[in-house]
Structure 1
Amino acid sequence: MTEPEPKGFGPLRGLRVIEMGQLLAGPFVGTRCADFGADVIKVEAPGQGDPIRNWGRNRHDGRTLWWPIMARNKRSISANLRDPRGQDLVRRLLTDADVLIENFKPGTLEKWGMSPSELHAINSRLVIVRVSGFGQTGPYASRPGFASVGEAMSGMRHINGYPDMPPPRYGISLGDTLTALFAFEGMMMALWHRDRTGGRGQVVDAAITESCFAMLESCVTEYSKTGHVRQPSGSGLDKIAPSNIYPSAEGIYVVIAANVDAMFRRLARAMDRPELAEDPRFVNHTVRGEHAAELDALIAEWSKSLPMADLVARLEANDVVYGPINSIAEVVADPHFRARGMVRDIEDPDFGTITVPGVFPVLSETPGDIAWLGPQEIGSSNAQIYGNLGLAADDLAQLEAEGVI
């Protein structure tokens, strides 16, 4: 299947991005770029490709359903980066690229003769996005790192789950996704700086541990000034009430978040218990936090007396913040998410009609889009992209036969 030329959509059209790396954190930076119109060229090992091509428990006609999420809107070339000829091909691509994304173990680029200083010598405008477990410097830099370890070592996993139970992992690779978002943010800042100050690129050093650590809100300052070590708090947050999950009569759980004083007064009205808002135990945010268990019990007793439809109707009528705990089936069916483009039905020659996540955030003038669901064949743009470097068909055939591409 021939890959399409880059589409003319989104605020990043015209930006050329070379993506080297595999699995989640690095490639998801490339996905963010591609979703908003950048020409993302994914470099894969010949005959192997990105392992995400084969990840995921479910298949459609033998094809993984994870790959089209990570690969959409990208083009694929193959290059053996352990071979000097493969390295040279990628260096030639980088001479006029805007961004390089890599998530190899620190030191790997240097081993291949593609250190930042060497790359900036051939393209001073290049922004180099480096994603790793622990960053490019520091005592742990040389360690391999995955999302689960970054979540654990950053302190994030410690506060997840319930007291007196082993801290569970999240059902997604949250550390990878967070790191990709921070790396994308850093890339955009570096591009902005480059284009304002004379056109020189720089290195964006994004670590999984630090990305998770950045999400810990007031944990550090609380520990610094009071010695308090935040602990797991189950389905709610310590001293924040009411903000928890509550059952309906059918046993369906709904999140109710009414910890702000004005919102709690609305919830009290919805419960036909307006006097609760004047109760000394619940009159303001601070005292509600001290009596959270009592308050949660009162709300749960009320909520489970009502069918879900009636419970929702009361909460909506009183403008209380709430939300059901949706499964993915319920998300996909939700009319609001459909109207917002959060889930989209795409026609694809390999998958037929397939429902995929949309492109976010929504931009009013230059929105992102999904042009296609990505390359099924490793190196399917070799002829197109390497041909633009001046390599003839015979040259490409020889390099392919020798395992270089």
Structure 2
Amino acid sequence: LICDVATGMYAYQSVATALYARRDVGVGRWIDVSLMASGAAFMGHRSPEAMLESGPLMSPNVPAGGYQTRDGWVMVALVTEAHFVHWCTAMQRPDLPSDPRFNSFPQRAKNEAALLEIVRDTMQTETSAVWLDRLRTADVICDPVTSLRDWYADPHVQAIGAASVLDQPGLGAFHVPRTPGAMAATEAALTPAPRAGQHSGAILAEGGWSDDEIAALLGDAA
């Protein structure tokens, strides 16, 4: 699914770029966008790292990741050594950063299993709200892991209009994310998805099929 969406995004920007080129230079462009190439481009930031890596693979930025709390999940990110120190302070484990097993990103990667056991057990002792408050106070990058329903109900999401309501026949009204960056005044109207086969007749007619041929074909399909 990620490659599907990425391919659409790359195709869109390629078309826009080609249109500008035709306007400014007077020459169009041939566009060739594939799932394979789009997936690789999405991982482009990993290419230099992959060329430099040797030996067994190690997890990056240990112990960054998602953690279960008493009532949910939170995601914690680590970018610098200071983030790990601050996280340990929030967990009331100031001893961890000075432990030789955990005093650097490479060491934490080597001793990942031991560290994850400590962090997982600790994070389950409090609620998500408590951890988010402590981590943010300690200047640690974190956020709750939410469902889509929770995301749509978030005051910030509602305030910036990040989602729209679609009335889909047969399903009722439900939320869908809006295209990021699109202004309401220029965004295309949000319309329901067509029913299965809703436009089959019209499409076949455009292809030169007669009414009798279309009726026979759709009758066989039914």
Shorter-chain TM band: 0.7 to 0.9
Higher helix share: 2
Tell me if structure 2 keeps the 8 A contact 1:244–1:296: no
2:33 pairs with one of 190, 206, 227: 206
Residue number in structure 2 paired with 1:311: 131
- Matched position secondary structure for 1:176: helix
Tell me if structure 2 keeps the 8 A contact 1:240–1:292: no
1:265 equivalent in alignment to 2:75: no
Residue number in structure 2 paired with 1:401: 211
CA 1:186–1:249 in 2, change beyond 3 Å: closer, same or farther? same
Residue number in structure 2 paired with 1:331: 151
Q: Structure 1: how far apart are the matches of 2:8 and 2:177? A: 17
Structure 1 moving runs of 4+ over 6 Å: 348-351, 379-382
How far the C-alpha of 1:195 sits from its partner, in A, is 1.9
Q: Structure 1: how far apart are the matches of 2:146 and 2:17? A: 35
Q: Structure 1: how far apart are the matches of 2:105 and 2:193? A: 53
Tell me if structure 1 keeps the 8 A contact 2:167–2:173: yes
1:345 equivalent in alignment to 2:165: yes
Residue number in structure 1 paired with 2:66: 245
Residue number in structure 1 paired with 2:218: none
- Matched position secondary structure for 1:204: coil
Q: Which runs of no fewer than 5 residues in structure 2 stay unpaired? A: 215-222
How far the C-alpha of 1:248 sits from its partner, in A, is 0.8
Name the aligned partner's letter for residue 148 of structure 2: I
Q: Structure 2: how far apart are the matches of 1:311 and 1:378? A: 52
How far the C-alpha of 1:348 sits from its partner, in A, is 7.0
Residue number in structure 1 paired with 2:3: 175
- Matched position secondary structure for 1:345: strand
Name the aligned partner's letter for residue 174 of structure 1: I
Q: Structure 2: how far apart are the matches of 1:403 and 1:374? A: 29
Tell me if structure 2 keeps the 8 A contact 1:332–1:338: yes
Name the aligned partner's letter for residue 253 of structure 1: W
How far the C-alpha of 1:303 sits from its partner, in A, is 0.7
Structure 1 vs Structure 2: percent identity of aligned residues?
23
How far the C-alpha of 1:286 sits from its partner, in A, is 3.1
Q: Structure 1: how far apart are the matches of 2:53 and 2:173? A: 56
1:283 equivalent in alignment to 2:106: no
For 1:68-217, list aligned pairs within 5 A.
Answer: 173-197=1-25, 199-217=26-44
Name the aligned partner's letter for residue 302 of structure 1: T
1:371 equivalent in alignment to 2:162: no
Q: How many residues are paired up?
A: 209
Q: Structure 1: how far apart are the matches of 2:53 and 2:166? A: 53
Tell me if structure 1 keeps the 8 A contact 2:168–2:192: no
Deviations 1:337-362 (A, max 9, x none): 22232222246788664322212125
Name the aligned partner's letter for residue 176 of structure 1: D
CA 1:371–1:220 in 2, change beyond 3 Å: closer, same or farther? closer
1:297 equivalent in alignment to 2:123: no
Residue number in structure 1 paired with 2:176: 356
How far the C-alpha of 1:268 sits from its partner, in A, is 1.9
Tell me if structure 1 keeps the 8 A contact 2:169–2:192: no
- Matched position secondary structure for 2:176: strand
Tell me if structure 2 keeps the 8 A contact 1:257–1:320: yes
Structural RMSD (CA): 3.4
Tell me if structure 2 keeps the 8 A contact 1:359–1:368: no
Name the aligned partner's letter for residue 101 of structure 2: R
2:75 pairs with one of 231, 242, 255: 255
Q: Structure 2: how far apart are the matches of 1:226 and 1:371? A: 48
How far the C-alpha of 1:207 sits from its partner, in A, is 0.8
